[in-house]
Amino acid sequence: MAQQRKECENRAALARGVPSLPALEGRVSRFGLMKRTTLIAIAVLSAFATSIAPAQSGITVTSQPYQDGSPLPFAPPARPGASAPAPDYSLKTGQPIHLGLKAWADKDGWMLVWQPTLSWKTLRDARFEAADASVAISEVIDILRDEGKPVALRISNGNKVMEVVTTEVRND
């Protein structure tokens, strides 16, 4: 009777997928495939497998393919906020150009030195889109040079000084 009970327990252990040492020993000795030391190693492994068996750890095994559940709640993409207003680099009709450029430089923390002895006036309103005053002033000086005016711009970024110089050749 004890023998039948032991075999029943061994079959139950095998059915659960976690064989006990006597169950393995009985199977192995019938087929003559393993030695006793291997059985001890298997017993240790089966004890480890028993401690993490699926039924005890809450893990269920199914033959169904994995399907992702509902998506995780992510934050909505950030709305594009109001971008910083572009600096106003504009010249008014009839205004001396050097005064407008000095105002731009002062507003952005630059010092503008105007070397030419004369200045020109704008014929109509002009607006320049630039990241800062040095870029806007550089654009204005390029326009003046393209019109044949004898001016050039020197920029010292380190100490934030811009100097408008004349390129006119004199025979004094």
Separation between Cα atoms, residue 161 and residue 172, nearest integer Å: 29
Q: What is the pTM of this model?
A: 0.51
pLDDT in tens, 85-113: 667 899 999 999 999 999 999 999 999 99
What per-residue confidence (pLDDT) applies to 63? 77
pLDDT reported for residue 87:
77
Q: Which two tokens stand for residue 36?
A: 């006793």
d(CA 114, CA 99): 9
Domains in the chain with CATH codes: 2-57 (no CATH), 89-166 (3.55.50.30)
**Segments of the chain with pLDDT less than 50:** 28-31, 33-34, 53-54
Amino acid present at 154: R
pLDDT of residue 88: 81
Could you tell me what percent of the chain has a pLDDT over 90? 42
